[in-house]
Chains A and B, each alone.
Chain A
């Protein structure tokens, strides 16, 4: 292609894209702006044409889909809605990147075909949505449902299923039908007529209305309801602005349910920090109130307690509200990975497709930021160890390129992130032998372990060492770092593997950063925090009740022998010999086992925001994070089960 033709294309495309962006903005403000619609349609049409002319197929296809939708709008078969505007804006934005890439290199970027088919799919999904029955422009019931699930991002489809009164007699179970709905994020149950719970109540006349929201495409929802299609209505409530696609402008007053403000992230963080500090200040007050209550008349003590409870509740609510403001979609994080995967795979002579899904889900910004490193580690690990070289895959009759799936799925107040490859799977026998060699478990203990438990050994510190260090996933850092990072974010990671079929890492994390409930303890002259969840009981035992056992000491707690350890010892800090006096011990649950951990003193129980450690401290085993105390000290929060190991 001649340079001047290319230059002309770039110049024209830039103008057309500017035009398209302006027209989209105008349409978003006024969906009835026919001049803007005509302008946008012409720009789209021309971009499609010139893309095809010069052989930039990705551009041509994306704008062909866009033109089809706009043409329906011109014919009155479709309305301009936020979903369509968002999809068109995504196409324009993508094309801007492409055009700049073409201006720089004369070529479309390597992933243009993938991006293009995603755009086509998105614009095509609008097509299906238009064909939906009962797709009123704004179905009030759907908008009401959408408001019930404010924490869920992305375009959602609402359904309302009103089974006929006699369905139980024909064997239908509407609840079982709804249980098959893919991507269900919210369910609501109503009674069709107000029920009268009295002896004459007839449980066999169906009186339910089941409505909900799903993240799945309309066609998938229709499939789930196909046997009861006559009893279901679908609608697409307006998407909220706080999600996936950058809005072209703040929403105007025409959409009261989706009003939003843009706020600088730093201000939200400052607000969140103030709320955190408020929690800390409240904790300081708690201590003073306890002292005051002990010396006050009963009436005053009660009033103080009531005022404190009220303050607790209000601060918790404030914290919660700010937590929601901090939610961000996972998309920016996820989209950093495809180029990395391409590059890593190429450097190893492997061919890998990374498929993303669920990236519209929202999590606390701290969680999204903190996930980059563990996910990157797992992705490197999958490409390096999980996925076979191309020749080996061909020989085994497996598809090339290999498939790596990164998906996110909201599950209540948690987010489940999965990274699944279709590679060779873990060699459990080798994991077992490595674990023995590295002294992570005895041969007997290993023999008693199920394959799942044995697979979990790969997360142990010291499992992967120099022998398995490769250029990519090595660097002397094992999967234990992934577990530590995930734990620091308040989550957990597990591995599931099938030989020759693949490996799946599952990370479960809180959507929001939570207040940790901590017990303060003293050991070796320092104060530490221990999450209350891991403490079964805090108690005091006489030295006489200790029994020496082979490796150390044990005590009998509720008729069970429990090994006794000292916290100072676990932390490798000097401490007094615990046998000399009455012992203060925490009974700690570690997996299925109990251990008694002695401390010098017990402190208060507090609620505090747990901050993951950053930098070099991030991977210290046994430390969950830190909390700021009322007096300004930093409290290290310990993961005692991990310390016991």
Chain B
């Protein structure tokens, strides 16, 4: 068992496999608002997508490098609910005419 719940905190511990996505979704659906990842060693994609769907508050700094350096920052990323920005919503593009953006400066 690598998903357990205490009050409103769901603890993900060790390597969380595909089956645990359902358990986690159950906890989040039943009111757990915080997910603690400090002892997590890995997350299956199904678990990741549950976190992305419910967007609970994530806490804890796991040791595992990919999780810590890439997955958590991506999960914490803003406004990733839909793919509109990704597929190139022209209106969302930040280069409005007349506003010259300095993207890089060579020194």
| A residues apposed to B, CB below 8 Å | 139-141, 143-145, 147-148, 150, 160, 163, 168, 172-176, 178-179, 184, 187-192, 194-199, 201, 203-204, 206-212, 240-243, 247, 256-265, 268, 325-326, 328, 365, 411-412
Contacts and interface: CB of A to CB of B under 8 A. Distances in A.
B25 interface: yes
Closest 7 CB pairs of A and B: A140-B88, A242-B104, A195-B53, A203-B21, A265-B107, A175-B45, A256-B95
B103 A150 contact: yes
Nearest to B75: A189
Contact of B74 (A163, A188, A197, A411): A188
B70 to A, nearest CB: 4
Nearest to B24: A203
Given A144-B86, A173-B44, A175-B44, 5 more contacts: A173-B18, A179-B66, A191-B80, A192-B83, A194-B82
Contacts of A189: 48, 52, 71, 74-75, 77, 80
Given A197-B28, A203-B25, A365-B107, A261 B102 contact: yes
B105 A242 contact: yes
Contacts of B66: 179
Contacts of B93: 140, 144
A241 B42 CA distance: 37
DSSP majority for the A interface?
Answer: mixed
Contact of B45 (A148, A174, A261): A174
Most B C-beta atoms less than 10 A away, residue of A144, A145, A189:
A189
Interface in B16-57: 18, 21-22, 24-25, 28-29, 42-50, 52-54
Interface of B: 18, 21-22, 24-25, 28-29, 42-50, 52-54, 66, 69-71, 73-75, 77, 80-83, 85-88, 90, 93-95, 100-107
B85 A411 contact: no
A190 B49 contact: no
11 contacts: A141-B86, A143-B88, A147-B94, A163-B45, A188-B74, A189-B75, A189-B80, A190-B52, A203-B22, A203-B49, A241-B103
B53 A197 contact: yes
Contact of B52 (A195, A262, A264, A328): A195
Nearest to A266: B107
Contacts of B53: 191, 195-197, 201, 207
A208 B45 contact: yes
A426 to B, nearest CB: 25
Contacts of B22: 203-204
A268 B104 CA distance: 12
A188 B52 CA distance: 11
Contacts of B86: 141, 144-145, 160, 188, 190, 209, 211
A256 B69 CA distance: 30
B68 to A, nearest CB: 9
A204 B21 contact: yes
A247 B103 CA distance: 14
Contacts of A412: 69, 73
A260 B103 contact: yes
Nearest to A167: B45
Greatest chain A CB density within 10 A among B28, B46, B104 is at B104
A599 to B, nearest CB: 32
A175 B48 contact: yes
A25 to B, nearest CB: 17
B82 to A, nearest CB: 5
A137 to B, nearest CB: 13
Nearest to B81: A194
Contacts of B75: 189
A191 B82 contact: yes
A211 B70 CA distance: 11
A204 B46 contact: yes
A190 B22 CA distance: 19
A187 B105 CA distance: 25
A207 B87 CA distance: 16
A453 B90 CA distance: 55
Contacts of A256: 95, 101
A178 B45 CA distance: 10
Nearest to A321: B102
B45 A168 contact: yes
Contacts of A168: 18, 45-46
B45 A206 contact: yes
A65 to B, nearest CB: 27
A405 to B, nearest CB: 20
A198 B69 contact: no
Given A189-B74, A192-B83, A206 B107 contact: no
A242 B106 contact: yes
A512 B5 CA distance: 39
B45 A140 contact: no
Contacts of B100: 259
Contacts of A206: 45-46, 49
Given A173-B44, A187-B71, A247 B106 contact: yes
A211 B88 CA distance: 14
A411 B69 contact: yes
A214 to B, nearest CB: 11
A328 B106 CA distance: 8
Nearest to A196: B53
B104 A191 contact: no
Given A175-B43, A191-B83, A261 B107 contact: no
Contacts of B48: 175, 189, 208
A79 B43 CA distance: 41
Contacts of B25: 197, 201, 203
B26 to A, nearest CB: 9
A263 B106 contact: yes
Given A189-B48, A411-B69, A260 B82 contact: no
Contacts of B87: 140-141
Contacts of B28: 197
B43 A258 contact: no
A629 B94 CA distance: 39
B82 A190 contact: yes
A412 B47 CA distance: 24
Given A175-B45, A190-B82, A411-B69, A201 B29 contact: yes
Contacts of B45: 163, 168, 172-176, 206, 208, 210
Contacts of A204: 18, 21-22, 46
Contact of B49 (A141, A147, A191): A191
A326 B106 CA distance: 8
B10 to A, nearest CB: 14
A160 B43 CA distance: 20
Given A173-B18, A197-B28, A241-B104, A209 B54 contact: no
A248 B81 CA distance: 40
B101 A259 contact: yes
